[in-house]
Structure 1
Amino acid sequence: MKISINKDSSVPVRDQLVEQVSLQIASGLLTPKEKLPSIRALAARLGIHYSTVTAAYNHLADVGLLDIRQGSGVRVASINNRENEPAAKSSLDSMINDFLARASEAGFAAADVMNAVEKLKERKPVRRILAVDRNEDFHRVLLTELKPHFKIPVEACTVQDIMDKPEQMDDSLILTSLYHLFTFQDKVKDRTRLVPCNIEPASLEMEKIATLRAGSLVLLVSVSETLMNMATKLVAAHRGEEIPVRAVLLSDEKELNYMVNHANLILCDSPSEDTVRKIADPKILQVFKLYPPSTIKLIQERLSKWG
Structure 2
Amino acid sequence: MKIWLSKNSEVSVREQIIAQISLGILSRDLEAGEKLPSTREIARRFQIHQNTVSSAYRELAEQGLVKFKRGSGVYVRENETVRTDASALDQIITRFFQEAAAQGFALSELKARLESRLAAKPPTHFLVVESSLELRKILMEEICQSTGRQVDGISFENFWDGDSDNNAQIVAMSSEAEKLKKILPPDKSCIFLKANSVPDSMAGKARPSNDDLIAAVSGWEKFLELAKMFLLAARIEPETLLLRSANEPDWKNGLQTVSLIICDLVTAKEFPNDERVRIFRLIADSSIDELRKSIG
Which residue pairs with 1:137 in the alignment?
A: 134
Alignment counterpart, residue 198 of structure 2, candidates 195, 202, 207: 202
**1:220 positional shift:** 1.0
Does structure 1 residue 95 correspond to structure 2 residue 105? no
Which has a greater percent of helix? Answer: 1
Specify whether residues 243 and 101 from structure 1 end up closer, same or farther in structure 2 by C-alpha distance, changes over 3 A only.
farther
> Comparing 102-111 with 123-132, which one deviates more in the overlay?
102-111
The 2-side partners of 1:101 and 1:265 are apart by 59
**1:267 positional shift:** 0.8
> Comparing 16-25 with 148-157, which one deviates more in the overlay?
148-157
The 1-side partners of 2:147 and 2:277 are apart by 27
Which residue pairs with 1:31 in the alignment?
A: 31
**1:153 positional shift:** 3.9
Contact 2:57 2:66 in 1 (8 A): no
- Aligned CA RMSD, in angstroms, stands at 3.6
**1:198 positional shift:** 2.1
Which residue pairs with 2:143 in the alignment?
A: 146
Which residue pairs with 1:157 in the alignment?
A: 154
Alignment counterpart, residue 295 of structure 1, candidates 269, 287, 293: 287
Does structure 1 residue 274 correspond to structure 2 residue 266? no
The 2-side partners of 1:161 and 1:70 are apart by 40
Residue ranges of structure 2 left out of the alignment (5+ in a row): none
Specify whether residues 42 and 129 from structure 1 end up closer, same or farther in structure 2 by C-alpha distance, changes over 3 A only.
same
Per-residue CA deviations over 1:265-295 (Å, capped at 9, x if unaligned) read 21121112232235x4x1x321222234443
Which residue pairs with 1:180 in the alignment?
A: 176
Report the residue type matching 1:18 in the other structure. I
| Alignment TM-score, normalising by the size of structure 1 | 0.76
Residue ranges of structure 1 left out of the alignment (5+ in a row): none
Report the residue type matching 1:214 in the other structure. N
Contact 1:68 1:75 in 2 (8 A): yes
Specify whether residues 107 and 207 from structure 1 end up closer, same or farther in structure 2 by C-alpha distance, changes over 3 A only.
closer
**1:301 positional shift:** 0.7
**1:251 positional shift:** 4.9
The 2-side partners of 1:237 and 1:176 are apart by 29
**1:41 positional shift:** 4.8
Which residue pairs with 1:2 in the alignment?
A: 2
> Comparing 43-52 with 9-18, which one deviates more in the overlay?
43-52
**1:18 positional shift:** 2.0
**1:128 positional shift:** 4.1
The 2-side partners of 1:114 and 1:67 are apart by 42
Specify whether residues 16 and 169 from structure 1 end up closer, same or farther in structure 2 by C-alpha distance, changes over 3 A only.
farther
Contact 2:125 2:295 in 1 (8 A): no
Alignment counterpart, residue 82 of structure 1, candidates 63, 76, 80: 80
The 2-side partners of 1:169 and 1:25 are apart by 31
Report the residue type matching 2:221 in the other structure. E
- Tell me the SS of whatever aligns to 1:2: coil
Which residue pairs with 2:50 in the alignment?
A: 50
- Tell me the SS of whatever aligns to 1:155: strand
The 2-side partners of 1:245 and 1:65 are apart by 34
* Higher RCO by CA contacts (8 Å cutoff, separation 6 or greater): 1
Which residue pairs with 1:20 in the alignment?
A: 20
The 2-side partners of 1:26 and 1:147 are apart by 22
Which residue pairs with 2:219 in the alignment?
A: 223
Report the residue type matching 2:280 in the other structure. F
The 2-side partners of 1:178 and 1:237 are apart by 25
Count of aligned positions: 291
The 1-side partners of 2:21 and 2:207 are apart by 23
- Tell me the SS of whatever aligns to 1:276: coil
